[in-house]
């Protein structure tokens, strides 16, 4: 079962199975730089999540077994927290971690990010493995596609406007 959905001309999304969703996009930057941005507390708030929220990196231990926790705050001060544990770190090729929305305990996603470079451009692929089809559909219905597309648009803007070393 594979259903292709394109959120915009830049990001591709496909439902691979009852439990897997994959998204990918090509960025005009080397993979080592994109990997660094994904694992650096000072850069994460500049692209992670929709721009209508402020993202706070509460905790970021980039090591196998290390914990991450990000808090998003809306304009009225309401907070939404997300956390997980790093399962694999293979810089600059691959990151694997769990993802939990604290507002819905018990639902754990295993996310795998791969960074493939070709001629200075990087294909970032994010595969989400859900515990069951209900969790997958719940995430899809919550705006997963538009949220990821906006985050990656923000990442592309960050790469364009900055001289991150």
User: Residue 120 — left, alpha, or beta (φ > 0 → left; ψ -120 to 50 → alpha)?
Assistant: left
User: Is the pLDDT score of 1 beyond 60?
Assistant: no
pLDDT level of residue 161 (50, 70, 90 thresholds):
confident
Query: What would the mean pLDDT of 67-93 be, rounded to a whole number?
Result: 97
Q: Rounded to an integer, what distance in angstroms lies between the CA atom of residue 67 and that of residue 53? A: 22
pTM value is 0.91
| Confidence (pLDDT) at 164 | 64
Nearest to 21, CA basis, from 117, 104, 131, 100: 131
- Residue 32 backbone zone (phi > 0: left; psi -120 to 50: alpha; other: beta): alpha
Q: Quote the pLDDT of residue 144.
A: 87
Q: Return the minimum-mean-pLDDT range out of 81-85, 113-117, 156-160.
A: 156-160
Q: Collapsing DSSP states into helix, strand and coil, what is residue 67?
A: strand
| CA–CA distances in Å: residue 123 to residues 19, 26, 56, 93, 128 | 23, 4, 26, 11, 16
Q: pLDDT tens for residues 18-37?
A: 999 999 999 999 999 999 99
pLDDT at 5 over 80: no
Query: Between β-strands 54-60 and 67-73, what pairing exists: parallel, antiparallel or unpaired?
Result: antiparallel
Q: How far apart are CA 10 and CA 145, in angstroms?
A: 12
CA 104, CA 129: separation in Å to the nearest integer?
A: 17
Domains defined along the chain, listed by start: 3-160 (3.30.530.20)
State the average pLDDT over residues 97-126.
96
Determine the pLDDT at residue 4: 47
Dihedral (Cα; 24, 25, 31, 33), 10-degree rounding: -120
Among 14-18, 102-106, 113-117, the minimum mean pLDDT is found in 102-106
């Amino acid at each position: 079962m594979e259903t292709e959905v394109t959120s915009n001309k830049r990001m591709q999304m496909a439902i691979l199975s009852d439990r897997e969703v994959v998204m990918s996009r090509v960025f005009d930057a080397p993979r080592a730089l994109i990997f660094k941005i994904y694992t650096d507390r000072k850069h994460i708030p500049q692209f992670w999540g929709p721009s209508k929220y402020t993202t706070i990196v509460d905790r970021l231990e980039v090591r196998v077994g290390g914990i991450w926790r990000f808090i998003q705050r809306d304009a009225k001060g309401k907070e939404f927290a997300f956390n997980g544990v790093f399962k694999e770190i293979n810089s600059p090729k691959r990151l694997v971690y769990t993802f939990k929305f604290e507002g819905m305990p018990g639902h754990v996603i295993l996310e795998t990010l791969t960074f493939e470079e070709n001629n200075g451009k990087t294909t970032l692929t994010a595969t989400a493995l859900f515990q069951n089809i209900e969790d997958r559909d719940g995430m899809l219905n919550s705006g997963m596609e538009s949220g990821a597309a906006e985050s990656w648009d923000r990442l592309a803007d960050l790469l364009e406007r900055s001289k991150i070393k």
